Structure 1
Amino acid sequence: MNVRFDGQTVMVTGAAHGFGRAISLAFAARGAQVWACDVNEAGLRETEALAAEQGFSLHVRTVDVADPEAVRTFVQEASGAQGVDVLVNNAGGVLGQVGRPLEEISPEDWHAIFRVNLDGAFYFSQAVAPLMKARGGGRIVNISSGAGLGVSLTGIQAYASAKAAQIGLTRQLAHELGQWGITVNNVAPGFVRSNPTTERQWESYGEEGQRKLVEGIALRRLGSPDDIAHAVLFFASGYAGWVTGQVLSVDGGR
């Protein structure tokens, strides 16, 4: 399957490392004009440098996905006169939080995770929808988590809840936007060592916990950020033209 995105404008959130970086580089390598954003400016510059090393370029901007005005400004700049073909809502995570008993969770901690994992996806989708409608089509791909389909390995209640809500948003927007030729789909990754947070989580399991985690995967191995990027490429491509409102678990088989 030879997938190309020449002449297309692709926006990727949370592109400073991990999935977002892999997704940004995958689209850029296939001819897309990529606009990548994150709150981590240093990480974004590393993503930009990696693209340059591989012989292609991408645009990077520091954007807080939880700030609707910042989102609108970024979308306006990135769309220019061409509009937006693909939006990948990847920004998310646990924001340094760890699993704690329910009664110890503050409202601030609860809402902080919702803002980056759910609100950001809503604000970006809201900003690109009129542009995609005007073009007569588009692709929105949300990155959730296996935690949104089951339970979080970290025990973080807000993370599991926000990812489940993002899956609900995916299905709802698929039905609302489908009449304009806009597809909305979701990739739900399993555990992947993709960033400092997941590295700390992996180390916390110890040798025995790591062994049990891998043995619980049908393919008996962990995935990589590229595995997630490949699923996104499929949803964004013409091969998925009649696929919308779907959740694809990319987890090695659970």
Structure 2
Amino acid sequence: MPDTFDFSARRVVVTGAAQGFGRAICQAFTSRGATVFACDIQSGGVEETARLCGPSCHAFTLNVADSQGVTALFDELIEKHGPVDTLVNNAGGVAGQTGLPIEQVTLAQWQAIVDVNLTGAFLMSQAAAPAMKQQKFGRIVNISSRAGLDVSLTGIQAYAGAKAGQIGLTRQLAHELGPWNITVNNVAPGFIRSNPSTEKQWQAMGKEGQAQLIDRIALKRLGAPEDIAHAVLFFASPWANWVTGQVLSVDGGR
């Protein structure tokens, strides 16, 4: 087996591709030959990702919580490019929210975060599954968070709940889709300064809080978006052919 991954035969959908982890994942796949369909609700950002990745990356504006939009995307991809065999559900985040006491959280605030982090992963996987079943091959990688395994640094109940739910969805789909040679795995990143939201969070910690966070990490340093992309490549590669339903914490050691 080669030492480097060759994805030249793969068609890969990546959500949340306008910045941060999503952009790094798109770059990692395209640099190894894949045809990538970068999706994000932020049209300008996702178009910039496609520009940075080159001609094998195609940008789509998509709200992953819009079931009709998701169905239309996969119909278009199958018609123009053929069936998708790899899906990375990276879209997520806190939807611009900050932590509040539970009695002050509105249903709309709760739903906005659950929609992008959990419902979106469900809808995208649902749309991708039929073609993967027909091919008897597929790779789904969900990007959750340490918040799904532990307490969220954000203090946002919906974020912790949605990321934990996404991990449960990963395990359930791994068993459901396994008979068709479709693996479903999960990457749980630690805190990484990867987008405006995490940068704002980092600055709000102050020097003391930043030092405390780094001190809790075994490697005593923060990671980079490329560290998450590399974990995704592993799950999508032949090296993970017999790996499914797993959660890989990429957090520098806790």
Q: Which SS does the other structure have where 1:249 is aligned?
A: strand
Q: Is residue 171 from structure 1 mapped to residue 171 from structure 2 by the alignment?
A: yes
> What is the deviation of 1:239?
0.4
Residue 26 of structure 1 is matched in structure 2 by 28
> What is the deviation of 1:79?
2.9
* Letter matched to residue 64 of structure 1: N
Q: Which SS does the other structure have where 2:249 is aligned?
A: strand
Structure 1: distance between partners of 2:205 and 2:153 = 11
> What is the deviation of 1:155?
0.2
> What is the deviation of 1:84?
1.1
Q: Is residue 46 from structure 1 mapped to residue 73 from structure 2 by the alignment?
A: no
Structure 1: distance between partners of 2:11 and 2:56 = 13
Residue 98 of structure 2 is matched in structure 1 by 98
Q: Is the 8 A contact 2:34 2:56 kept in 1?
A: no
> What is the deviation of 1:49?
2.1
Identity percentage over the alignment? 63
| Structure 1, 96-105 or 70-79: larger mean CA deviation | 70-79
Unaligned runs of 5+ in 2: none
- Count residues in correspondence: 251
Q: Is the 8 A contact 1:9 1:84 kept in 2?
A: yes
Q: Which SS does the other structure have where 2:234 is aligned?
A: helix
Residue 181 of structure 1 is matched in structure 2 by 181
Unaligned runs of 5+ in 1: none
Structure 2: distance between partners of 1:59 and 1:188 = 26
* TM-score w.r.t. length of structure 2: 0.97
Q: Is the 8 A contact 1:3 1:237 kept in 2?
A: yes
Q: Is residue 159 from structure 1 mapped to residue 159 from structure 2 by the alignment?
A: yes
Residue 75 of structure 1 is matched in structure 2 by 74
> What is the deviation of 1:51?
1.6
> What is the deviation of 1:223?
0.4
Runs of 4+ in 1 over 6 A off after TM superposition: none
1:54-73 alignment runs, 5 A limit: 56-73=55-72
Deviation digits for residues 127-162 of structure 1, max 9, x if unmatched?
010100000111000000000001100100000000
Q: Which SS does the other structure have where 2:198 is aligned?
A: helix
